[in-house]
Amino acid sequence: MRADRLVAVLLLLQSRGRVTAAELAAELEVSVATARRDLEALSAAGIPVYPQPGRGGGWSLVGGARTDLSGLSAAEAQALFLLVGPAAAVSGEVKTALRKLVRALPSTFRADAEAAADATMIDPTRWGARDRHRPETVDVLQAAVVRRRRVRLVYTDSARERSERLVDPWGLVDKDDIWYLIAGTDRGQRTFRVDRIVRAEPADEPAARPDGFALDAAWRQVVGEVEQRRSRTWATVLLAARFVPILRDHFGRHCHAAGELGDGRVRVRVAAPTPLDIARTLAGWGAMIEVTEPPSVRAELARIGAELTGRYRDPESTGAAPERDCR
Residue-wise pLDDT tens digits, 57-66: 788 876 543 4
Domains by residue range for the chain, with CATH: 2-118 (1.10.10.10), 123-228 (2.30.30.520), 231-312 (3.30.70)
Asked whether the predicted pLDDT for residue 128 surpasses 80, the reply is no
Do residues 7 and 94 lie in contact, with contact meaning Cβ atoms separated by under 8 Å? Answer: yes
Average pLDDT of the chain to the nearest whole number = 78
Asked whether the predicted pLDDT for residue 81 surpasses 70, the reply is no
Asked whether the predicted pLDDT for residue 79 surpasses 90, the reply is no
Model pLDDT, residue 64: 45
User: How far is 32 from 24, CA to CA, in rounded Å?
Assistant: 8
Asked whether the predicted pLDDT for residue 231 surpasses 90, the reply is no
Do residues 21 and 53 lie in contact, with contact meaning Cβ atoms separated by under 8 Å? Answer: no
Do residues 162 and 214 lie in contact, with contact meaning Cβ atoms separated by under 8 Å? Answer: no
Model pLDDT, residue 51: 82
Per-residue pLDDT tens digits for 278-320: 999 999 999 999 999 999 999 999 999 999 999 888 766 555 5
Least confident segment among 9-13, 58-62, 99-103:
99-103
User: How far is 181 from 215, CA to CA, in rounded Å?
Assistant: 10
Per the model's pLDDT, the better-predicted residue between 260 and 54 turns out to be: 260
Radius of gyration of the CA atoms of the chain, in A: 26
Report the pLDDT averaged over residues 23-39: 84
User: How far is 78 from 139, CA to CA, in rounded Å?
Assistant: 13
SS3 73: coil
